[in-house]
Structure 1
């Protein structure tokens, strides 16, 4: 199995390079210096290379331009940082500019051939792939309930991405008693060997029954069938033991910083 340093190098050179040049289905990219702005989704997004190559006033100006751009659109946006990125003071500068830090997650990567299969889930849940508008709307309802998001916005985002999808996204659900109790998706990253495991949502009453492992295992099979070499997931601490048992290695951390024009305006008015 490759060590964490080699996996991190593949992550930076393949996956993050693709973030800057290859939009996900339904999204649009525009450049501003070393950054890529991503629009067309539920909220805006900023992606950058591991080293922005800017410091001091130049970095502050770059940050201010992103705030002005998305404020002009009336749109909240996320700037995703990694723990090994440079300059090291970027997180502090984002906070000073009015951003809010979301929970830090650990980035896990596994070579596909190192992932250990999981046992089937306990209980009466059926794991299957989701298809069609009705399934996507049910996923939106589940996701909104679990994470407290706006259901209409989640549904609109899922449907827009589905219309633009060229076969890179697979949604997997666990269904019991006629309802979805867990859902997640696999996203192949074109031009790379990576496939991402995203969107995991499980109803509280169904946690601890093996559904997370079961949905990962199903998506591993899909990724293998498409020739992926690596699996990627950003995870909070409760998922770490499961992922490590499955064969994933922690390679860095990631902290999203969000900027809301409305929230920032309220802060300035105080």
Structure 2
């Protein structure tokens, strides 16, 4: 398998920007090249393989049409438009801003050989890693992630994870604990019909960072990916997690910048 950045980017576009990107969707509507995805919990998500050569005027129409779609569904409270750095998308950021989407922190998409991350990582003796499936464990994990990411603790994300586990699609949830308290977490999402699995939701409490917890959770998920027959891993990583993954041999292939719209927010900047 060719692991050069250009080859990995082509694989990313061809295999990971399809229905594989949103396996837990409640509904998907097509609008030109766009996939307008609705998840449980009042979340919308806009993605696409590319914008099919659209010029700035058409891009603006697509943004307006996508937002009209979600405004018509009163259940949807939040919509994320996922923009990739290598796409040809003239006028996209301006159109999103005009329609009330707020740009979030840019992340780097990295990909690489799972074997490079499936290593032994020394941990403080009181730290225990384990895979969780019970409702109580999933809710504890979700609450910790909400806190670390600076979000209000909400049952919605935990509810979505529990529904995802119930589908039996291979998703795995991993936590690091000290005396039964969750101090770190992350999930593994195997991509159906591919050699790839995604690393998502990595979070570690501030007092435990820099002590191997993130690397150990990554290694545990990489070993599981290999057991499931997934030879490649991918992740949209924050500045905090990027060094860990790149040191292990994962390669940056593009960037992704979320833009988020909230119902009731001002309609434009």
TM-score, normalising length: structure 1: 0.91
What residue in structure 1 maps to residue 157 of structure 2?
A: 154
Alignment correspondent of 1:112: 114
Q: Check conservation: 1:116, 1:246, Cα contact below 8 A.
A: no
Quote the residue 2:93 is aligned against.
91
* In structure 1, C-alpha distance between the alignment counterparts of 2:89 and 2:260, rounded to whole Å: 18
Q: In 1, Cα distance between the equivalents of 2:71 and 2:120?
A: 45
CA distance in 1, matches of 2:146, 2:225: 26
Q: Kindly report which structure 2 residues correspond to 1:1-270, keeping only aligned pairs within 5 A, or say none.
A: 2-19=3-20, 23-25=22-24, 27-42=26-41, 43-74=43-74, 75=76, 76-115=78-117, 117-150=119-152, 151-163=154-166, 165-265=167-267
Q: Please tell me whether the aligned partners of residues 34 and 51 of structure 2 are also in contact (alpha carbons under 8 angstroms).
A: no
The Cα RMSD (Å) is 1.9
Distance apart, 1:259 and its partner CA: 1.2
2:107, 2:31 → 1: CA distance? Answer: 26
Deviation at 1:218, TM superposition (A): 0.3
- 1:233 is displaced (CA, Å) by 0.8
Shift of 1:184: 0.5
Which moves more between the two structures, 131-140 or 182-191?
Answer: 131-140
8 A contact 2:118–2:222 mirrored in 1: no
Structure with bigger helix share is: 1
Structure 1 residues 205 and 217: alpha-carbon distance in aligned structure 2, compared to 1, 3 A threshold: same
| Alignment size in residue pairs | 264
Deviates more, 1:153-162 or 1:139-148: 153-162
Q: C-alpha displacement at 1:220, in angstroms?
A: 0.5
Shift of 1:169: 0.2
The structural deviation recorded for 1:118 is 4.1
| Structure 2 SS opposite 1:264 | coil
Further displaced range: 46-55 or 136-145: 46-55
Please state whether the residue corresponding to 1:263 is helix, strand or coil.
coil
Q: Distance in 2 between matches of 1:237 and 1:140?
A: 21
Unpaired runs of 5+ residues, structure 1, are none
Please give the alpha-carbon distance, in whole angstroms, between the structure 2 residues aligned to 1:137 and 1:128.
Answer: 15
Query: Relative to 1, partners in 2 of residues 1:48 and 1:198: Cα closer, same or farther, differing over 3 Å?
Result: same
Which consecutive residues of structure 2, in runs of 5 or more, have no partner in the other structure?
Answer: none
Whether the 8 Å CA contact 2:173–2:187 is kept in 1: the answer is: yes
Contact 2:118 2:220 in 1 (8 A): no
Q: Quick one: distance in 2 between partners of 1:68 and 1:154?
A: 25
Whole-angstrom CA distance in 2 between matches of 1:196 and 1:52 = 26
Question: What TM-score do the two structures reach when normalised by structure 2?
Answer: 0.91
What is the deviation of 1:236? 1.4
- Segment of structure 1 superposing worse, 194-203 or 42-51: 42-51
